[in-house]
Amino acid sequence: MKRIAPLSRFLLGAGIFIFVVGAKLWVVSVAGSSVPYRDQIDAEGESILRPWLEDRLEWQEFFAPHNEHRIVFTKVIALASVAMNGQWDVYLQVTLNALIHAVLLLVVLGWFRQHLGGWRLTVITVMSILLWVVPFDWENTLQGFQSQVYLVLGLSFSQILLVLGAERVNWKWSIGHLCGFLALGAMAGGAFSSAAIILVVAVRSWKTRKLSRFSIATAGIATLWLIIGLTTHTSVPGHEMSRAQTLAEAITAFSEILAWPTRGYLPAGVLFGLPAIVASLILLRRQEITLFQQTFVGVVIWILITAFAMAVFRGHSSPLISRYLTNYTFLVIAQGLAWTIFGNGRWSNLGLIAWGVVVAISLLSVFDKTWERTIKPTEQRIERQEVLVRKFLANGDARVLTRADIRDLPYPSAAVLNDRWGHDVIQQIMPAAVRAPLKIDGDKSPVPTEIPLSLYPVMAASPAGSQTESWMWRSKRYSAETLRFLRFRINGGLGDPESALTMRLVSDSSVVEVIPEGSARNRWKTINVLRPPGEWWIELEDNDNLEHIALTSPVELGVISWAVEKAIKYHLWWMSLSGVLLLGALVTTILPSRLRTIISPNNE
């Protein structure tokens, strides 16, 4: 019977993982775009991708600062995704971000599972899942460039978990310190976890009056990472206006962070954040604490340092901007865990229940407001943005950008955007949603007037009116270097089993018959086709006058981009699958106890 427990844990973990990923892809499907956006255009496109495509990229560019940060891994991800996929596709990046964030949740759940059980574990687990799926941090969910946020949180938390959770030098302790070093290449805040470790080791050594070689090694390596982080930090001219101008302003901003997500419900942030702070102080005063309690204190100190830094450096603007909120989820979890540190008495149980109720109500309120005020309007803006970029890339006319509303552009300056994306090498890696279609070679067939207008050039259309003989059309040969998937827009009866229309992608070695799911007589239907290997061409055939077919010039689509778009499209399927897995976890947990009851001697 005990063998069922690992199966239950696997089903539960897989169900939670897929649910989180599916929920994030749901948001992406509504308001996401595959088009690079804002800082990404400079930090990835201009500093890494264009130099790489022009064979002049130097390794130092990966370590060059972007504002206050050194986002080494975000740049590596951008280059690797383009190298593997052939396109600079934000959909691929946000999907990878969702996977990283979901893995981080499983690590967090595994951490406090060491300490909790029963209904307390259920309450904190459910609240943690809500913190991961409610799109209060919608910018991080929708922008591929924000991988840095998930990476710095994952690496910093792993450092604290592995280093402070170790009793001696071992491989976990070593990997923990490696995570601390790597966190410096994620964001500037990567040094905060090292600072937390130093403080915990120092206070524990002072309290126990013991300074072992292990403690010296732990604090010494963390100090090295902290020094590297501080000395490589850069200041950005113009960002001073975002800093808190007075101590009172910094304290107010810090209080707002402590109060999140109860903004509007709890005026004084200290009331909500106090349990985590008090629990940490109590644990630090003890002579002996468990490894879990030590990591708990480290997490609290780490996130408080992060919160105070945000209050200082962003206190004059707002420390509660969407992209900052992901950082505070660990503080909210720590506030719930704090009630379990106080024991299993009546007041600690009531405190945990109250915490869960307040967090749940606050997050549901945030979800409603975010969806109506931000997600839906973003969906409309993204549609306008893609139309503008598509027009610009189709003809290279900068006036398309300069005449547009700046809010509908993916960059705050039309002139700079024209400079960034006016290069052929960049245009050749743009995502399928906006990139120019393959060029039509030679004359194209006349387009019947009854065919709807298309955003893309029509390369072929069967004749209108009566036909006395079969119509056959063949395109030119296209290069074998073309990306493997092609995106067409078709109009007409192709796909109807009763029509006499056929479409083929042909190479010297194979033929791919194109049979879409259903026809498109009064609209343009998008289809994606995996082309045959080698040089290829298109063949259309119409054998009667009952139907017509029209075809736009194809747009290239990377294989990974195709797979990611499918994953985003079927996000509800992933969430349904997660429900099945979670149900399976419940069944395999309950069934063994039922069986034990049946075969128990007391029931004989």
pLDDT digits (tens, 9 = 90+) for 382-399: 999 999 999 999 888 899
Give the CA count within 13 Å in the CB-facing half-sphere of 604.
3
- Tell me what pLDDT residue 68 has: 87
d(CA 273, CA 257): 9
pLDDT at 24: 97
CATH number, domain with residue 518: 2.60.120
Q: How far is CA 355 from the centre of its chain?
A: 28
Question: Residue 520: what pLDDT?
Answer: 85
At 395 the pLDDT is 85
Cα end-to-end span (Å), the chain: 19
Confidence band for 267, pLDDT divided at 50, 70 and 90: low
Q: What was the pLDDT predicted at 603? A: 46
* Cα separation, 108 vs 125, whole angstroms: 9
Contacts for 4 with CB less than 8 Å, ≥ 6 apart? 588, 589, 591, 592
Q: What is the pLDDT of residue 3?
A: 44
Residue 572: partners with Cβ closer than 8 Å, 6 or more residues away: 22, 26
List the helix and strand counts (H, then E) for the chain: 23, 9
Name the token pair of 19.
């649910």
Q: What are all long-range contacts of 179-183, with beta carbons under 8 Å and residues at least 24 apart?
A: 179/155, 180/155, 180/156, 180/221, 180/222, 180/225, 181/225, 181/228, 182/73, 182/155, 183/151, 183/152, 183/155, 183/156, 183/159, 183/225
Rounded Cα distance, 572 and 125, in Å = 22
Q: Say how far apart CA 218 and CA 226 lie, in whole Å.
A: 12
Confidence band for 593, pLDDT divided at 50, 70 and 90: low
Residue 295, pLDDT score:
95
pLDDT at 69 over 80: yes
CB-based contacts of 209, cutoff 8 Å, min separation 6:
none
pLDDT of residue 268: 52
* CA dist., res. 515 & res. 529, Å (int): 10
Say if residue 343's pLDDT is above 80: no
Q: Is 515 exposed, middle or buried (0-12, 13-18, 19+ CB in 10 A)?
A: exposed
Residue 589 lies in a domain: no
HEC letters along 126-191: HHHHHHHHCHHHHHHHHCHHHHHHHHHHHHHHHHHHHHCCCCCCCHHHHHHHHHHHHHCCCCHHHH
Residue 41 lies in a domain: no
Which residues, including other chains, have CB under 8 Å from residue 318's CB and lie 6 or more apart?
Answer: none
Count, residues in the chain: 604
- Would residue 91 count as lying in a domain? no
What 3 state SS string does 371-400 have?
A: HHHHHHHHHHHHHHHHHHHHHHHHHCCCHH
Q: Give the pLDDT mean for 399-417.
A: 93
Share of the chain above pLDDT 70, in %: 93
Q: Which are the contacts of 83, defined by CB distance < 8 A and separation ≥ 6?
A: none
Whether residue 307 is contained in a domain is answered as no
Range of the domain at 517: 458-553
Question: What pLDDT shows up at residue 444?
Answer: 61
Rg (CA), the chain: 28
pLDDT at 1: 33
Residue 430 belongs to a domain: no
Among 100-109, 504-513, 518-527, the minimum mean pLDDT is found in: 518-527
3-state secondary structure of 245: coil
Count of beta carbons in the 10 Å neighbourhood of residue 294: 21
472 lies in some domain? yes
Tell whether 498 is covered by a domain.
yes
b/e per residue 544-554 (b: at least 16 CB within 10 A):
eeebbbbbbbb
Instruction: Round to whole Å and give the CA distance between 72 and 183.
Output: 10
Most confident among 173-182, 237-246, 258-267 (mean pLDDT)? 173-182
**What is this structure's pTM?**
0.93
Distance CA 191, CA 138 (A): 25
Query: Number of structural domains, the chain?
Result: 1
Cβ proximity of 408 and 384 under 8 Å? yes
Over range 587-601, report the average pLDDT.
63
Q: Could you read off the pLDDT of 10-42 as tens digits, one per residue?
A: 999 999 999 999 999 999 999 999 999 999 999
In a domain, 496, yes or no: yes
* Residue labelled with tokens 């290997």: 533
8 Å CB contact between 195 and 226:
yes
> What residues have CB less than 8 Å from 443, skipping those under 6 apart?
none
Counting Cα atoms < 13 Å in the Cβ hemisphere of 398 gives: 11
Q: What is the C-alpha separation between 353 and 360, in angstroms, rounded?
A: 11
